[in-house]
Amino acid sequence: MAAMLDFWNSRIERAPLEELQEIQLRKLRHLVDNVYRNSHFYRRRLDNAGVRPDDIKKLGDVAKLPFTYKKDLRDNYPTKMFCAPLSQVVRYHASSGTTGKPTVVGYTRGDIDCWTTSLARAMTSCGLGRGDVVIVSYGYGLFTGGLGAHYGAEEVGASVIPMGVGNTERQIELMQDLHATAIACTPSYLLHMNETAKKMGVSIKDDTDLKMAFLGAEPWSLETRGRIERSLGIKAYDIYGTSELSGPLFTECSAQQGIHVWADHFLLEVIDHNGDPVPDGEKGELVVTTLSKEALPLIRYRVGDVTILNHEPCDCGRTHPRIMRIMGRTDDMLIVRGINVFPGQIESVLMSIPEVGEHFQIIADRKGELDNLTVRVEVTRAAFSDKLADLMKLEQKIAYELQKVLSLSTHVELVETGTLPRSQGKSQKVIDKRKI
């Protein structure tokens, strides 16, 4: 019988909103003062915006601060935006950059502890605890999903099986043999696992002890959630986070009415395209200020996800604000098998291969339960010789170079010169046929 806590930290999770806001203001003032004095990047940014630390007197003054973007991380690759000495960075992670270069993030020991605590609170709110057995099927390595979920689940006292991605039949075997009660992976992978299990003659619903899943790293609809919960006989909780904010940090609670974002560590805003705040309950772009991060604090970071904010107290008793299901992106980023893909990355790879033109088309579709990415590229006239083998090698070379940059294997299709649309519009360059 799993030993379940109702709250990881009841005192803070149920603190009145006013108290949380006092904590936020105190930390925000300290953050701005600290980065102004110790970070070249933020000093310049704040000076350009004409803002000084003393200008932050109330929580609303956060709107005076300039935004930060993924571009800033890219331009300051790898560590020029860091605010702690590198000798105090105990972990690096990386994630997809918008062009060829990845973005690098770093963590002090305090940052790792804070990340772990966030997820411990979140997982506890879903009923996870000592006695649970958790399979972590997010990628381990530079991707934050695997290690993030791992540390969080270990912290709450669950037994962790660090499977990572792949080897699905083995995962199902261990799910049964070690009596796994929970899994953390992408929703499409879990559906794929269900199909694989059926082929093995195993019903996850009837033949395993699985009762909950933490699903994220890619968008998924309520319909898909219903499908997963019914066919696997589990509760499926949305998990959310980005590497810039640390990694996976927040989940829905047992009420499943939005994702609690820990106010004592993160200050949230939702803005319209002018950068002005939208009223609670209206859709807008998520902006996050990290109040506790030391190595890479982010002020008003434009995450790029579109959501709705809710400050009402939740049925679970927690007072920390909730964000509702992520409803899309403000940029052209795609998520394929849980991996962020920017068309700009593909463009940068193709530009380095002379035998193909720089025009391309990306088609995302889902065969069965797993995503596929097809990249269609034009053969240049100059590059065409008579040798079939050369063309096949070219296809393989493109796929190889793309794999290096995207960390994803793609299906490459060579097409005739001049046949791809030349417009810059996303709608023609990126075709997403998936229905999530």
Minimum CB distance to other proteins, residue 246 (Å): 42
**Contact window for other proteins (CB under 8 A) among 213-221, 248-256, 265-273, 409-417:** 409-417
For residue 119, the surrounding DSSP H or E stretch is helix 109-125
Question: Beta strand pairing status for 430-432 and 356-367?
Answer: parallel
Q: Residue holding tokens 């062009």?
A: 99
**419 makes contact with other proteins (CB under 8 A):** yes
Q: Identify the three-state secondary structure at position 435.
A: coil
**Contact window for other proteins (CB under 8 A) among 69-77, 123-131, 339-347, 374-382:** 374-382
Cis peptide before 78 (omega within 30 of 0): yes
**413 makes contact with other proteins (CB under 8 A):** yes
Minimum CB distance to other proteins, residue 402 (Å): 16
The residue within the footprint of other proteins, chosen from 66, 306, 380, 399 (CB under 8 A), is 380
**414 makes contact with other proteins (CB under 8 A):** yes
Residue 424 CB coordination number (10 Å): 7
**415 makes contact with other proteins (CB under 8 A):** yes
**431 makes contact with other proteins (CB under 8 A):** no
Q: How many residues form the binding site for other proteins (CB under 8 A)?
A: 17
For the chain, helix (H) and strand (E) counts, in that order, are 13, 19
**384 makes contact with other proteins (CB under 8 A):** yes
**Contact window for other proteins (CB under 8 A) among 209-217, 219-227, 397-405, 417-425:** 417-425
Q: Which residues contact 215 (CB under 8 A, 6 or more apart)?
A: 184, 185, 186, 187, 190, 225, 228, 236, 237, 238, 239
What does the DSSP 8-state code read for residue 32? H
**385 makes contact with other proteins (CB under 8 A):** yes
User: Which CB atom, from 211 or from 376, has the smaller least distance to other proteins?
Assistant: 376
**Contact window for other proteins (CB under 8 A) among 126-134, 201-209, 281-289, 380-388:** 380-388
Minimum CB distance to other proteins, residue 387 (Å): 8
The residue within the footprint of other proteins, chosen from 174, 353, 363, 379 (CB under 8 A), is 379
DSSP string for 310-364 = E-SPPTTS--S-EE-----BSSS-EEETTEEE-HHHHHHHHHT-TTEEEEEEEEE
**418 makes contact with other proteins (CB under 8 A):** yes
Residue 168 CB coordination number (10 Å): 18
User: Which CB atom, from 38 or from 385, has the smaller least distance to other proteins?
Assistant: 385
Q: What is the end-to-end Cα distance of the chain in Å, rounded?
A: 35
Backbone angles phi, psi at 185, to 5 degrees: -165, -175
The residue within the footprint of other proteins, chosen from 18, 177, 206, 386 (CB under 8 A), is 386
User: Which CB atom, from 312 or from 390, has the smaller least distance to other proteins?
Assistant: 390
Minimum CB distance to other proteins, residue 350 (Å): 16
The residue within the footprint of other proteins, chosen from 222, 328, 416, 428 (CB under 8 A), is 416
User: Which CB atom, from 1 or from 388, has the smaller least distance to other proteins?
Assistant: 388
Beta strands in 7-83 (DSSP E): none
User: Which CB atom, from 166 or from 418, has the smaller least distance to other proteins?
Assistant: 418
**Contact window for other proteins (CB under 8 A) among 13-21, 122-130, 247-255, 377-385:** 377-385
Contact between 63 and 368 under an 8 Å Cβ cutoff? The reply is no
Amino acid 28 reads L
What does the DSSP 8-state code read for residue 413? E
- The CA-CA-CA angle for residues 311, 316, 320, to 5°, reads 30
**393 makes contact with other proteins (CB under 8 A):** no
Give me the helix-helix angle, 40-49 and 17-38, nearest 10°: 110
**5 makes contact with other proteins (CB under 8 A):** no
Question: Beta strand pairing status for 182-185 and 133-136?
Answer: parallel
**Contact window for other proteins (CB under 8 A) among 107-115, 147-155, 387-395, 423-431:** 387-395
DSSP string for 244-260 = TTTEEEEEB-TT-SSEE
Query: Which residue ranges make up the site for other proteins (CB under 8 A)?
Result: 379-381, 383-386, 388, 391-392, 413-419
